[in-house]
Structure 1
Amino acid sequence: MISQKARYALRALLALARVGPGNTLMTSEIATEEKIPKKFLEQILLQLKGNGLVRSHRGRTGGYELIRPAEEVMFGEVLRLIDGPIALLPCLSIVAYRRCEDCRSEESCELRHVFSRVALASRDVLDKTSLAAALAAPELLA
């Protein structure tokens, strides 16, 4: 299960993708439109900014905008940024691999074999689905 923070981050990024390149949304607009607590959203946007996904503009017409095209921002990237590794078992993580302490052998571990298929399928969807694709095909968000 992804965290509420990751869900809010994705919803904020989708809102920014919806307004298109070069356009900004104020934090209060995103918070209202996406029903995200404003203080929590501010923290999320700062994290996204620090990781090069959004930039902020000051002033009356300021706000946040996507730095990269929505076609280049993948769900998997955002989830890893906010929640960390996408793996149900530590031995299946690509970026934070750890051998399971109670495992006799990874090669013969039935749990690993099953969850490996789950991880591959999940990564395939998340790493190939961009913000733009999600907006173009809303059934992907269901």
Structure 2
Amino acid sequence: MLSKKTQYAFHALIHLAENADKGPILISEIAQEKSISIKFLENILLELKNAGILGSKKGKGGGYYLLKTPKEIPLAKIIRLLDGAIALLPCVSLNYYEKCENCRDEAVCGLNDVMGKVRDATLKILETKTLKDILTRNVSIL
């Protein structure tokens, strides 16, 4: 399940993408438009900035803006950045692997096998879908 933090990150990224022609956007505008606490949003945007997804400008006309086009921002990158592992079990995670405490042998563990397939199917979607795919879908509801 996506954390509130990741959901808010997607809402903020969508807002920035939809308003990219306006230049940098103030945190207060995003927070008000998307009903997100400014303090919580500051932390999220800072993480996205540190990861090279957003840029910021200080002073008059300042705010946050996308450094990449929506087509260049894979959903998996945002989820991993803010939530960590995408896999449902640590023993099948590609980037955050840990042996499960109760597992005797991963090689014959049926749960490991099934969850590995779930991970692969999930990644197939999340690594190919981008912020642009969300934006395209949002056009009809905004």
Give the TM-score normalised by the residue count of structure 1: 0.90
> What CA distance in whole angstroms lies between the structure 2 residues aligned with 1:18 and 1:92?
36
RMSD: 1.6
- State how many pairs are aligned: 139
1:82 is aligned to 82
Q: How is 1:1-142 mapped onto 2 (pairs within 5 angstroms)?
A: 1-20=1-20, 23-138=23-138
Q: CA deviation at 1:79?
A: 0.7
Which of 72-81 and 103-112 deviates more? 103-112
Q: CA deviation at 1:22?
A: 7.4
- Aligned residue type for 1:60: K
> What CA distance in whole angstroms lies between the structure 1 residues aligned with 2:56 and 2:79?
21
SS in 2 for 1:31: helix
The 1:21–1:69 alpha-carbon spacing in structure 2 relative to 1, beyond 3 Å, is farther
Residues 33-59 of structure 1 deviation map (CA, whole Å, 9 limit, x = unaligned): 111111100111111111111111122
Contact in 2 for aligned 1:9/1:45 (Cα 8 Å): yes
Gaps spanning 5+ residues in structure 2: where?
none
> Which ranges of 4 or more aligned residues in structure 1 deviate by more than 6 Å?
none
Contact in 2 for aligned 1:73/1:131 (Cα 8 Å): yes
